[in-house]
Structures are given as structure tokens and as C-alpha cells.
Structure 1
Amino acid sequence: MNQNFDIIIVGGGAAGFFTAINIVEKNPKLKVAILERGTEVLNKVRISGGGRCNVTHACFEPNELVKFYPRGEKELRGPFHQFCSGDTIEWFEKHDVELKIEADGRMFPVSNSSQTIIDCFLKATQKLGIAVLTGESVQSIFKKDNLWKIETQNENYLVEKLILATGSNPKVWEMLQTFGHAVVSPVPSLFTFNIKDARIKELPGVAAQVTVKVKDTKLTSTGPLLITHWGMSGPAILKLSAWGARILFDKNYQFTIFVNWLNDADTADVEKKLKELKQEHAKKSVSKKSPFQLTNRLWESLVLASGIEGETKWADLSKIQLQNLTNQLTNSTFQVNGKSTFKEEFVTAGGIDLKEINFKTMESKLHENLYFAGEIVNIDAITGGFNFQNAWTGGFILANAIANT
């Protein structure tokens, strides 16, 4: 029985490493080990942000930051007042990693390489004497007197404090259910929509600023939409998939969306504008040039879908054609038939029920000396560095709580 450690952290990902480093920095006497089931650590960090690692987001106000979390908004308010995006920047600066802000608010290492973050964590664990043990897949967890017994296929460990940072690992969730913890069943979040439709078939790569709504729900989202070979992607769609993760799962990813291609322009205003164009450009061909902030290719496709032939002049538009065009611009209907994973950044909605966690310490309310960090709990965010920020904040609070016991 290995009793060389005070604390075991299960999971060699972002949350596990950040938590371990912060614990030992605050209390160097503690002996900490990270157990990772795979042969490599920090895999998700490596591929995140297209290999650049989207460390956090330049949203520095806790009450604003929480709005990016479909699950966890209420619970994270307190924690973000303790450790927010600004604190993340400062933490990495102290560890010789400089971050930069991009135009959309996402923050990356100046090096543009996720390896910088990995190297930072590995260097810190070595310096602090944290044991990183790979190929250690946890088979079972027991409570033994006041200690935790962790069995892997190679070794048995006995420790006072156990931290689970295993992300979306169903096996660990199952173990926790035997301890009486409730687990909200996982469903995918952050995915793109599969749509086969003549209007967008020839337009991969075309983007527009839109408002998207899901029929028969309250789900709505505004932002950039990107047409792809398989349907639609971009922030507006990804946001919708995150906020609607459960609803869209229940619909088996078969549903109808309405797209307003002119952001949130009012239908009546658009119809009025089209009537003015009919007067002003009477002799010009309707499909030739987009009068709105749409690419000419998208405009042409929507004109065609309105039953307006190629060379039709503005003056020749019928009342019905004008109404059709208004409708295509502000209320296009598309059938969604399935989803695709967004890049490699697979995120799940689901995990340990938030009511069972003390967010002042990240400790289980059911079992003393059992703590959680990262995506193992039922918190997830839209894309843009927010899921990592949750990992950093939880790890910091947890480390503070342990250092003070």
C-alpha cells in the first residue's frame, strides 16, 4: 500500500495540473501525485484552440463572465470574484508565460503554441516535486476510516485528500454514484448543425452576422454564422448548441431553425427597404449586387430561392416576389438533420450535480476530503477560453481551501 502522498489528484489534464501546482505553491510540505490513465498528460491542452491553447477570455468582470456558462452561471459568480480572467493572466505571467488578446477576446500564449502551456505545467510540477504518474487507470475508490484508498491496475494508494479532475469520464462518474453522488447524464455541447439545402450547397466558407432561432423553443442566438460543406457552424450556431444541449439532444438533433441573415433586422423594415430599392434601381438586375451586408453569392442564392429568375429587373418584381425575398432574408427556414463535433474540442454538458458541491472550497458536500476540479462537474461553457477559465478558477479555490486546512 503506497502511503507516500498526502493528496492524490486523478486526471492529468488542465484542471489536475493547475490544482496540483497551486496546492504545493501554497503549502510546499504537502506531497502530491497526479494519476493519469493515458501514456501522455495534458492532451486536451495540446489540441485546444487549433493547437494554440485558448487559455482564457478577456472578460474581466465576474458578473459578465458567468453569462458564457449555460450550466454553472449561478454557482461560478462567487468563485470568479476570487479568481477571474485577470488573475489567470497574472498567474501565467508569474510562470513566465505571456498571454495576448485577439480581436474576438480570446486569449492565447504569445508563442501561439499550446506547448508553451504544457511546458509551463511540466516545469512547475518538476520544480515543486509533484509526482506525475502515467498509465495509472483508477479501478476503484474506497473510503477507509478517514482515508481514501485508490486502486489502479498497478498500485494501491492511501491518502487523506482525494481530488477528481477526470473531465467527462463515465467510469469515474459511475464510481461517484456508488458514493451517493448524483450525476447529470452527459450530452454533447458545442457542435455544428448538419443541413442539406440547395440555398447553401454551393456556399461553403461564406459567413454572415445573423440571428438564429430554434422552432418551438425559446432558444435564440446572435453572432457570426459560417456556412460549411455539411451545414452551418460559427459562434451563433455553437452558442445555440451549448445553450440548447439538452433540448436538442431530446429532439434527437432533428429540428427546424429560422435564420435572419440581416442580423436582427425587422421584417417590416426590410420589406420597406426592398420597395425603395425597386423604385431606385428599377432598371438594374436584382441578383447582381447585394444591397445589404451580405456577400453577393449569398444574396444571389436567396434571390433565386425567392422565385426571382437570374436577369429579373427590380422594376419587374411582383408583390409576392418581394414578400418571398423579405422572408428569405429575415426568416429563412432550414431543417437540421444531425450534428457534427466542432473540431477536436469535444465538450459535454453533464457531470456531478452542482447542488452537491461547496463552491467556496470545491469539496463534496457528501464526503469530507473529496474535491472536484474542471469538467467532471456539471459546468460547461461556450467556445472561447471559458472552459479553461472554469478549470483555473476551481483549481485555485480548491488549492486555497486545502492550504488553509
Structure 2
Amino acid sequence: MFDIIVVGGGAAGFYAAIQIAEHAPHLNVAIFERGKTVLSKVKVSGGGRCNVTHGEFSAQELVTNYPRGQKELLGPFHTYAPIDVMSFFEEKGIPLKIEDDGRVFPKSNSSQTIIDCFVNEAERLGVKILRNSSVKEFGRSKEGDRWRITTMNKHYQTKKLLLATGSNPKIWKQLEKMRHTIIPPVPSLFTFNINDERIRGIQGISTEASVEIPPKKRFPSKIDVELKSALKNESVLESEGPVLITHWGLSGPAILKLSAWGANILYKYDYNFRVIINWMPEYTTGSMELYLREVKEVEPKKTILRTNAVDMPRRLWINLVKAAGIDKDLKWGDVTKEKLQNLAKQLTACSFKVEGKSTFKEEFVTAGGIDLKEINFKTFESKIHQNLYFAGEIINVDAITGGFNFQNAWTGAYIAARAIVSK
């Protein structure tokens, strides 16, 4: 018998258990982890450095990084914000740093620092960590005022249950049996697979660009009528920021942002769609053509391929010039209007065919989970079942990269923990 069982030995689970044990040391708290290791996602996050949060201290601005959960998280972020998370770690003896792009990391540059902190704190506070304890079933006990949890070969009871199991289909299925609505999960935060001569052989190049995904004109028959009508009026997906050319296609913050905001649409597209890159986002196709005409007037004797007339990586410029049908020895003074227009289009409206996706590193994130309408965001308690709480990716909240998904985990875990303790 426990006072509180936390299912899920990840970021949200440990944070909640520690907060409960700190504020109510008399309570008997346990973490159930299905695997033999805990905090595995923390281990790989931020390239192994653990991007604990983001240095955005305005709740109104912070929520704009959440494609799903933006409205619901505004109140919680006023209650528990990145500055509170940073204070938590600093108080535990873990100095942090805010990098130029706003991401917050431990100064050690090692996720192990965060893992050690959580495990040591949990043990110090008397939280029981039960590894290899996959939950097979849970529900109300016969008495009705407790929860009954069944693992492989044991049964447990608890007064309050907090689920922090992330994207766990088995747990979602169990919740559906208990009348909760689960928004079907789809991948978020992925890179685009593209096989195209224009970016082949120049992997590693990163440059600022704007990116658009236009709606498809035709949809597969499996897409329902309601989706068709919704998408007809929907504007294209847009993003701007660094675009990284990789061995398999395109990645970088601008692409990942699009994958998050367009998670449901791109799933419906079966990850086959067109993406349009403006490599010179300060220009339109028309204004770029005018600029290239000026270059033609000023530099008539120079070859186009060697000039690099715009501010972009040289290898990318060469590939785009070739894609415009311009010969390597052609001089600016001899270029035709048609080829100038082709070059302007390659620079500002470069269309690629995306055929599939790749997971972004090991930081797999899903869009989907418990319907947000069924959660009280003042307590992160279920509106359907008393003394059942949620935190982290189990709910239909996800964010772009930059520490925002962790911030959702910390905030939900903290608020749920305080609600549990206050009862």
C-alpha cells in the first residue's frame, strides 16, 4: 500500500515524486518504471547534454512554442515557469547556463548530471524506485476509494495515482476503457527525406531560409470529407530559421518547427508532399530577379557560377545555378531573361519533393494523447476520475525543440504534485 504511485520513471515522473516527497515527507511515494533503467529520454536529450528548459520568461511568449496545448498551458506557466525550474536545479547544486538561442543546459554539458540529481534526490527523500515494473492494468479497487495497480506478478494499492508514462499505447488503451478520450498519436519533430541533385553532396551546410508547405490539391481517398473541407481554407504551413542540409534531406530548426505544427496534416499526407524553400528570405522571386538584372549590368564579364552574387554558402549557390540551367562558363552579360528568372526561382521558391521522414536524433515526440478537455489544468487531475493525475507527454501537448517539451513535463509534474499534497 502506497499513498501515491507515480507510473513512469522519466522526467515528469521523477519531478513529481520529488516534489511530493519534499512537501509531504510523511507520504509513502513510489515510482514504477517498466524498464531496467530510468530517465532514458533525459539521457539522450539535447544531444546528451539535456536541454532542461528554455530561457523564455513570459508565459504569453512561452506558450507560442506549443502546437498543441497553447491555450491550456498559459495558466500553468504563470504558476510554474522556466525560472522556477532553473531555481530548482540551482538549489540542488546544478549550475545552469542559457545559450544564445535561449536553450538552457547544465554547465556540465552532461545529461548524467540531471539523472544523478533526480535519482539521488528521490533516494534521499525515501521515494521507492521499482524498476522492471511494467503496469499491466490499473483501476479502482473494490472499496472504490483507492487505485489498484497490477504489474507482471504483483498487485499494489494507492490512494492517488499519477500517470507520467509518455507515449505509451498500452496505458492510453487502458484509459480509453475508463472513458477517457485519446487523441490518436502521430509523429512530431522529424526531418524531411529528400532525394534531389540540388542538395546532394553538400550535407552539413546550414543557412537561414523560409520554408512553406502548400496544401495538397488532391487528397487520398482515405481522408474524410471533413478534413478536406478544413484543409481547403487552411493557409500553408510556414516557418523561418536555419535549414540544415543532411545526407537524407533537410533538417534544422525551421524544418523541425514545421514538422511539429504540421504533425497532423503531414501524417494525412503520408509524408509525401512538396516543400518550398526561399534560400533568400528577404527577397521575393520578383525582387530577386530585379537584383540579378542589376548584377548583370554591373558584372557583365564575370562568370555566374564563380560570382556567388548572394549571401549563401558557395556550394549551395553552385548547385542552384546549375539547376537553373546555367552553363559553368556563362557570363552575366550573356545570360538570357529566361535563365535569370529560373535562377531567381531556384533562390527564392525552390521546390522539393519530400518522400518520407526521419526521427530527429533520438528525441522522438508525438502529437496526441489524453484529450485536454478532460484535464483540470489547475491541478492536472482527471475530470472523469478523482485522484488520477497526469503529467508530461501522456496528454495531448507537444512542443518544438528547445527545452519546451521538458518544461511541459516539469510544470505539469509540479502542479499535480502540489495538488496531491494539498488534498
Q: Same fold (TM over 0.5)?
A: yes
In the TM superposition, 1:233-382 aligns within 5 A as 233-382=251-400
Contact 1:351 1:377 in 2 (8 A): yes
- How far did 1:233 drift? 0.4
What SS does the aligned partner of 2:307 have? coil
* d(CA) in 1 for partners of 2:308, 2:363: 35
Aligned residue number for residue 75 of structure 1: 72
The amino acid of 1:204's aligned partner reads Q
Residue 29 of structure 2, aligned match among 21, 29, 32: 32
Contact 1:211 1:264 in 2 (8 A): no
Q: In the comparison of the two structures, how many residue pairs are matched?
A: 402
What do the CA deviations read for 1:231-275 (whole angstroms, capped 9, x no partner)?
Answer: 000001100000000000000000011110012422222111111
In the TM superposition, 1:144-155 aligns within 5 A as 144=141, 145-155=144-154
* d(CA) in 2 for partners of 1:293, 1:66: 33
Aligned residue number for residue 185 of structure 1: 184
Contact 1:362 1:371 in 2 (8 A): yes
* d(CA) in 1 for partners of 2:290, 2:382: 59
What do the CA deviations read for 1:174-218 (whole angstroms, capped 9, x no partner)?
Answer: 000000000001100000000011111121111111111112252
- How far did 1:291 drift? 2.0
Contact 1:47 1:114 in 2 (8 A): yes
* d(CA) in 1 for partners of 2:9, 2:384: 24
Contact 1:260 1:330 in 2 (8 A): yes
Contact 1:265 1:330 in 2 (8 A): yes
- How far did 1:399 drift? 1.3
- How far did 1:228 drift? 0.6
Contact 1:289 1:296 in 2 (8 A): no
What SS does the aligned partner of 1:389 have? helix
* d(CA) in 1 for partners of 2:417, 2:158: 16
What SS does the aligned partner of 2:104 have? strand
* d(CA) in 1 for partners of 2:282, 2:145: 58
* d(CA) in 2 for partners of 1:142, 1:223: 46
* d(CA) in 2 for partners of 1:227, 1:296: 13
Instruction: In structure 1, list runs of 5 or more residues that go unmatched.
Output: none
Question: How has the CA–CA distance of structure 1 residues 259 and 331 changed in structure 2, closer, same or farther, with 3 Å as cutoff?
Answer: same
* d(CA) in 2 for partners of 1:140, 1:400: 26
Aligned residue number for residue 228 of structure 2: none
What SS does the aligned partner of 2:78 have? helix
Aligned residue number for residue 172 of structure 1: 171
Aligned residue number for residue 214 of structure 2: 215
- How far did 1:38 drift? 0.3
* d(CA) in 2 for partners of 1:401, 1:289: 64
In the TM superposition, 1:11-50 aligns within 5 A as 11-50=8-47
Q: Structure 2 length normalisation: TM-score?
A: 0.94
* d(CA) in 2 for partners of 1:372, 1:149: 17
What SS does the aligned partner of 2:162 have? strand
* d(CA) in 2 for partners of 1:380, 1:62: 16
Aligned residue number for residue 156 of structure 1: 155
* d(CA) in 1 for partners of 2:32, 2:127: 11
Contact 1:188 1:347 in 2 (8 A): yes
1:228 to 2:246 alignment: yes
* d(CA) in 2 for partners of 1:225, 1:365: 42
Runs of 4+ in structure 1 off by over 3 angstroms are none
* d(CA) in 2 for partners of 1:315, 1:246: 48
- How far did 1:142 drift? 1.6
Contact 1:136 1:154 in 2 (8 A): no
Q: Structure 1 length normalisation: TM-score?
A: 0.98
The amino acid of 1:167's aligned partner reads G
Residue 134 of structure 2, aligned match among 132, 137, 141: 137
Aligned residue number for residue 106 of structure 2: 109
What SS does the aligned partner of 1:124 have? helix
* d(CA) in 2 for partners of 1:228, 1:207: 9
- How far did 1:289 drift? 2.9
- How far did 1:311 drift? 1.2
What do the CA deviations read for 1:60-86 (whole angstroms, capped 9, x no partner)?
Answer: 111000011111100000000011111
- Percent identity over the alignment is 56
The amino acid of 2:110's aligned partner reads S
Q: CA RMSD, aligned part only?
A: 0.8
The amino acid of 1:54's aligned partner reads N
* d(CA) in 2 for partners of 1:108, 1:95: 15
